[in-house]
Homo-oligomer: A and B are copies of this chain.
Amino acid sequence: MQFKRKDLLGIRELDVSEIEYILDLARSFKEINERSIKKVPTLRGKTVIHLFFEPSTRTRTSFDIAAKRLSADTYSITASTSSVVKGETALDTLKNLEAMKPDVFVIRHSASGAPWQLAARTTASVINAGDGMHEHPSQALLDMLTILDNKKSLRDLNVLIVGDIFHSRVARSNIWGLTKMGARVVVCGPATLIPPNIDSMGAQISNRLDQCIPQADVIMVLRLQKERQQQMLLPSLREYSTWYGINAKRLEQAKPDVLIMHPGPINRGVEISPEVADGPRSVILDQVTNGVAVRMALLFLLGQR
C-alpha cells in the first residue's frame, strides 16, 4: 500500500490498513533509536516547524528528536513567545511561516478542530500533536504499537480506559483506533468526567472500576488535571484516588499479564500509585520510547512527499 495523505490529523479518518502501515514503519524505526549512531539522512534538507499554540515539552521534544534523527532541521514556535501575542490570528501565523517553505508543521492547539482548519489552508503537511479535547493521533498510534509489542493482536483485546475521559483527546483517539482494530474498549471514571456521547464512538461505559479490572488486558490510566477539582467536577483528589486510582491492591484482581499504560506526566499517588507506575506490568516508559519511533514514521511519510 501507499500512504497518500498530505496530513495526519486524526485517527478517526484513518482506515485499518493505514494504521497497520504506520505501525509497521514505526517498528522499522525503533531499531534506529537503539543504535550507537541514532541518525539517518532521510529528511536531510527538510524543514519541520513545531507550531504550539498550547505549551508542551514532552510531545514537542519527542517530535523534535524524531525529526532530527531523520536529519530534518527543526524550529519551535510557541504561542507565548510568538507574534500570536501581538494579536495575529493562528492562520496568519501559519501562512507567514508557510511562506518560509517548511515541509511539515507539527501543530498543537487548544481548540478542537484547529489543525484541520489550518491544514486545509496550507500546502505543507500538518501533523496534529493534540487539539483541544478532540484527537492526539500520534499518542494513540504509540499506544497501539506498545500494546502490540506485548500482545499478539488488538483484535478482541479488552482495553479499559480509566479517569477523566471527558477532557481527554488521548482517550478519544484511542477509542477510534482501538475499536477500528477490533479491540473492545470500556471507559470508566466519575460520571462528571464521562462524556454523554462516548458510547456512540464504540466504547462501553462503566463506573464500577473493580468490576472492569478482571477482564482487562490493558488498563490505560489517564492523567487527572488537578484543576478539575476547582471546577467542581471532583469531590477531592483523595476521594478520586480511592475510587479510581490504580494501585497494587486493586490490581490483585487483574490478569497477570495486564498492561498498565499512562500517557504521562503521571501524578504519583493520585490516578496511579508509584508501585504500579514503576511495577513489572507498567509499559509507561515503553510508550515514550515508541513515541519517538511513531513520530519518525509520521514525519517520514509526510516529509518525503
Contacts and interface: CB of A to CB of B under 8 A. Distances in A.
Contact of A45 (B35, B44, B96, B100): B35
Contacts of A174: none
Nearest to A64: B75
Contacts of A95: 285
Contacts of A65: 47, 73, 75, 100
Nearest to A286: B99
A264 B44 CA distance: 30
A46 B83 CA distance: 29
A218 interface: no
A183 interface: no
A34 B101 contact: yes
Nearest to A96: B288
A64 B34 CA distance: 23
A184 interface: no
A291 to B, nearest CB: 8
A5 B81 CA distance: 33
Interface stretch (A55-63, A151-159, A251-259): A55-63
A77 interface: yes
Interface in A59-108: 61-62, 64-65, 68-69, 73, 75, 77, 81-83, 86-89, 92-93, 95-101
B289 A100 contact: yes
Interface of A: 33-39, 44-47, 55, 57-58, 61-62, 64-65, 68-69, 73, 75, 77, 81-83, 86-89, 92-93, 95-101, 226, 264-268, 285-286, 288-289, 291-292
